Structure formats: C-alpha cells, structure tokens
Amino acid sequence: MEYRKIGDTYYIRFDRGDEIVSGILDICRNEKIESAVYSGIGGLSKAEIQTFVPEKGEFETDTVEGMLELVSVNGNLVMDREGNYFHHTHSLVAYKEDGKHLVLGGHTKSLTVLYTGEIELRPVIGGAVRRRYNPETGTGFWDFAAN
C-alpha cells in the first residue's frame, strides 16, 4: 500500500495481498483522521460481503474468491466517544462463474487485492462525525451531538 495527500484528499493504492478496509483504518489512525468518506475501484482475489439479519441481530457473510472486479466501494469511517474506529462500507463485486457474469454487493467485511485497489479518502474538514450505538437496532449510527 502506498498513499499521498493532495490538498485535503488522500489517494491510496493498494497492492496484491493488501486488505482494503483494514488499510483505510490504519491510514486514519496514523494520520489522526477522526471521520472520513471513501470510494474506489480495483481488482480483487477475495471479498467478504455481509447482509444484516435483524431477526438474528447479526450479519451473514458470503465469501467469493477468484478474479473479482471491484466495481465500487463506498464507505465512511467514524469514531465513537471513546476513540474507537468504526467503518461502514458497501461494495459491489463482479465475477464470472460457469460462464455467467454475476454480481455480489452489500455491507463489506473485507476486500483482498489481486491487482490493485485505488481509493480516494476524504476526511471531514472543520469538525468530526461520531458514532453512537443504538440498542434498538443493535448497530451504530452517525452522532452529530458529539461535536
């Protein structure tokens, strides 16, 4: 992985074997970025895509491996009031199986690079968005009162 800051934006190139979500979290920790949004594209060898099942209060994970096109990854990163980082990432991955083009998309657990991942990371400027846990849904949401 290699990245550069140009203006207020970070441009990240992930290389073979790098995991994109954890890499974004590492950059935010190293650069002291408290909240940000990101998007990108790439070529993957593995993707773990999740769907939240409200009745169970947990995520179900589907894993695909092989030559995968990262059609789109979009997400945000925030901290809670205790300084813990959380990401909310969604991805769309295309691949071929039995001669057919297929697509898998949803909440993203991890994305492992085969060829490259090109991500634009845009920190929130002039403040921060935080995270607040919602016990009713069992998940966290943006918290603007923490600013």
We report the CATH number of the domain holding residue 123 as 3.30.1330.80
What would the pLDDT profile of 25-67 be if each residue is shown by its tens digit? 999 999 999 999 999 999 999 999 999 887 887 889 999 999 9
Cα end-to-end distance, the chain, whole Å: 32
Distance in angstroms (rounded) separating the CA atoms of residues 29 and 140: 20
- pLDDT of 22 > 90? The answer is yes
Q: What is the pLDDT of residue 127?
A: 86
Q: What is the pTM of this model?
A: 0.90
- Please state, rounded to an integer, the average pLDDT across all residues of the chain: 93
* Most distant CA atoms of the chain, gap in Å: 51
The number of domains in the chain is 1
Q: Name 26's bridge partners.
A: none
- pLDDT, tens digit, 9 for 90 and up, residues 83-103: 899 999 999 999 999 999 999
Whether 92 and 105 have beta carbons less than 8 Å apart is answered as yes
Cα 28 to Cα 14, 44, 63, 116, distances in angstroms: 15, 22, 26, 20
Burial of 134 (0-12, 13-18, 19+ CB in 10 A): exposed
Provide the domain limits for residue 80.
Answer: 2-143
* Rg of the chain taking only CA atoms, in angstroms: 16
Distances (CA, A) of 5 to 13, 31, 45, 50, 136: 12, 10, 27, 31, 39
